[in-house]
Amino acid sequence: MEFFDKLGKKASEAYKVTADKTGKIAKETKLKFKIGELRTQINDLYEEIGKKVYEKHVREEEISIKKDLEEQCTKIDVLSDEIDDLLKQCLALKDKKQCQKCYKEIDKEDKFCPNCGERQNNEPAKEVEILDNLKNTQVKEDKEAQKQIVIEELEQDIQEKEENQEEKSNLEKTVEIESNVESEENEEE
Ligand SMILES: [Zn+2]
């Protein structure tokens, strides 16, 4: 009987892991799709810039980045930042992050980069910052409902993160206590 109990437990654990993995893969696929879309937009902007430069060449005119290409360049800056953010989300799904100095993919829990040795600081909670900005932003009446939805989503995200943090620090404490017990036992021997 016990054997089947264990078997059942193992099977449901395996299911949990698989379901979790499938969810992560779906999320990663979505993120990668978005990244692809943004890259296409950037390529379109590159094309626009190229055309403008060539037109200037045909007309034998000077081109100024500030005057002629500012709009496209700013758009690319914004899109690149978005891609950066999505890539970070992709890494987080795999429990990875980027080293702040050498940008190598490292473990999320690494306090020092195994590649270059750089100390990793915890990132400030970006959502909190965005939430504050959003709350202080005036929007048109017809956008108010949309704003409220985004605010609620952000608040949920922040809460989830805080709960995860708490869980993790509890786990760390447990591990610490267990290792203390172990060393005490060793001393007695
Ligand atoms: Zn590094």
Q: How far is CA 77 from the centre of its chain?
A: 18
Do 29 and 88 lie in one domain? The reply is: yes
Task: Tell me the pLDDT tens digit for each residue of 113-123.
Answer: 999 999 987 65
What pLDDT shows up at residue 189?
A: 46
87 CA from centroid of ligand 1 (Å): 17
Q: Which residues in the chain belong to E strands, given as ranges?
A: 96-98, 105-107
Do 19 and 56 lie in one domain? The reply is: yes
CA triple 85-90-93, angle to 5 deg: 125
Do 175 and 106 lie in one domain? The reply is: no
What pLDDT shows up at residue 184?
A: 57
Below-70 pLDDT ranges, the chain:
1-4, 122-126, 165, 168-169, 171-189
Looking at 121, 153, 169, the residue that finishes a domain is 121
Do 131 and 182 lie in one domain? The reply is: yes
Q: What is the DSSP string of 60-106?
A: T----IIIIIHHHHHHHHHHHHHHHHHHHHHHHHTTEEE-TTT--EE
Phi-psi category of residue 88: left, alpha or beta, with phi > 0 → left and psi -120 to 50 → alpha: alpha
Do 12 and 105 lie in one domain? The reply is: yes
Do 82 and 164 lie in one domain? The reply is: no
Q: How far is CA 178 from the centre of its chain?
A: 33
Coil vs helix vs strand at 107 = strand
Contacts of 9 (CB under 8 A, 6+ apart): none
Nearest Cα to Cα of residue 87 among 21, 31, 47: 31
Please tell me the pTM assigned to this model: 0.54
Nearest Cα to Cα of residue 107 among 117, 92, 122: 92
Q: Give, as residue ranges, everything with CB less than 5 Å from ion ligand 1.
A: 99, 101-102, 113, 115-116, 118
Beta bridge partners of 178: none
Measured CA to CA, the distance from residue 83 to residue 61 in angstroms comes to: 34
Number of domains in the chain: 2
122 CA from centroid of ligand 1 (Å): 15
What pLDDT shows up at residue 180?
A: 64
97 CA from centroid of ligand 1 (Å): 11
Do 136 and 106 lie in one domain? The reply is: no
Range of the domain at 96: 1-121
180 CA from centroid of ligand 1 (Å): 32
Task: Tell me the pLDDT tens digit for each residue of 19-57.
Answer: 777 888 889 999 999 999 999 999 999 999 999 999 999
What pLDDT shows up at residue 58?
A: 97
> What type of residue is 2?
E
Neighbouring CB atoms inside 10 A of 47's CB total 11
